[in-house]
């Protein structure tokens, strides 16, 4: 509401000044500034909600980045709070609620950010340190915590796949060589462990991506060189950050399983739900109620079914995000 009112500040003031009965309703310059501060404070929450709730692309790796953006808003608002006492109760209440849930960021969220080639472990650790600092939380050994969590999950996933023995570990010496004898005695598990840890180290020591990348395409292209990390990415990025898509699915299912269709079998019911979602994706009408404006639809570049049908000649269903997700994983 604030972002719609503030651009009309002068119009509202002139309208109230033109009527002597309403002139007492005018806001002072300080009150308009307070509205601007509150609007800036809430914008980070609004942006995070829209981005994380209305997306059919992976969002697990973006959660920590939005939390960090919110922490910077808290840091900036504390300086204003010292000069403006009216903001104190608002900031204090929201800070208490925010820290209730995000005082300790879930490790899976941190690992998801590490698997983003724009951040990796190095910059994820720096972001966590600044996050704690912005919120006034006690400093911790974030680097050790992040590395331990990532290595623990990596080893767990590595135990589920066979890491090919690299050619470099094989000795080219003859059978009489001491190195050849060591290769024969060396435990195969040790070789696999070294090879797998080299996979993790080479990823973290590699150059970070300087520009945004398609996270699914990135790990698809690197699945041969980093099979364990690619498997981790596939599982972690499949988890939605928000419950909005799940709740929408339940709502759609409720419209399919009516009193007159109560005997639908589970297999047929599942196919109907999936078909509806895929058709909506191709028409860019997911989360869209006909006759209403949907912020989710706008965020995803969606339109009404009529708009999609009118552009049939230029429209390619393969451009949809869900189609891309299904084809990649």
pLDDT class of 81 with cuts at 50, 70, 90: low
Per-residue pLDDT tens for 194-205?
A: 555 688 999 999
Spell out the residues 6+ positions from residue 129 whose beta carbon is closer than 8 angstroms to its own.
Answer: 139, 142
Residue with tokens 């992040």: 146
Residue 56 phi/psi, 5° resolution? Answer: -105, 15
Q: Which two tokens stand for residue 144?
A: 């050790």
Per-residue pLDDT tens for 229-243?
A: 999 999 999 888 888
Which pLDDT score is estimated for 194? 57
Which pLDDT score is estimated for 84? 64
C-alpha–C-alpha distance, residues 284 and 329, integer Å = 20
CA distances from 158 to 56, 117, 200, 230 (A): 28, 20, 11, 11
Q: Where are the domains of the chain?
A: 2-153, 244-328
Stronger pLDDT, 326 or 69, i.e. the higher one: 69
Q: Is the pTM of this model over 0.85?
A: no
Per-residue pLDDT tens for 152-182?
A: 999 999 888 754 444 444 444 444 445 555 5
Mean pLDDT of the chain: 75
Q: Is the pLDDT of residue 144 over 80?
A: yes
């Amino acid at each position: 509401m604030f972002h719609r009112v503030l651009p009309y500040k002068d119009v509202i003031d002139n309208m109230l000044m033109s009527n002597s009965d309403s002139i007492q309703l005018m806001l002072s310059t300080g009150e308009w500034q307070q509205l601007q501060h509150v609007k800036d404070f809430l914008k980070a929450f609004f942006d995070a909600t829209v981005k994380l709730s209305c997306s059919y692309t992976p969002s697990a790796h973006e959660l920590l980045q939005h939390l960090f953006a919110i922490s910077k808003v808290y840091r900036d608002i504390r300086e204003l709070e010292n000069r403006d006492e009216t903001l104190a109760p608002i900031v204090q209440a929201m800070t208490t609620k925010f820290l209730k849930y995000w005082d300790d960021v879930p490790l899976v969220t941190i690992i998801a950010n590490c698997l983003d080639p724009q951040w990796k472990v190095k910059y994820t650790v720096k972001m966590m340190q600044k996050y704690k600092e912005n919120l006034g939380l006690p400093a911790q050994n974030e680097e050790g915590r992040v590395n331990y969590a990532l290595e623990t999950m990596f080893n767990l996933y590595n135990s589920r796949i066979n890491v090919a023995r690299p050619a470099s570990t094989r000795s080219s010496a003859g059978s009489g060589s001491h190195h050849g004898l060591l290769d024969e005695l060396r435990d195969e598990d040790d070789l696999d462990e070294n090879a797998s840890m080299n996979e993790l180290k080479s990823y973290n020591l590699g150059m970070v991506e300087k520009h945004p990348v398609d996270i699914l395409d990135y790990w698809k292209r690197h699945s041969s060189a980093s099979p364990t990390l690619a498997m981790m990415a596939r599982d972690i990025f499949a988890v939605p950050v928000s419950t909005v898509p799940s709740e929408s699915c339940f709502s759609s299912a409720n419209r399919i399983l009516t009193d007159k269709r109560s005997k639908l079998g589970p297999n047929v019911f599942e196919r109907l739900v999936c078909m509806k979602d895929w058709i909506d994706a191709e028409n860019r009408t997911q989360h869209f109620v006909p006759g209403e404006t949907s912020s989710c639809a706008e965020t995803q570049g969606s339109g009404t079914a009529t708009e999609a049908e009118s552009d049939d000649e230029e429209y390619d269903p393969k451009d949809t995000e869900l189609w891309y997700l299904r084809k990649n994983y």
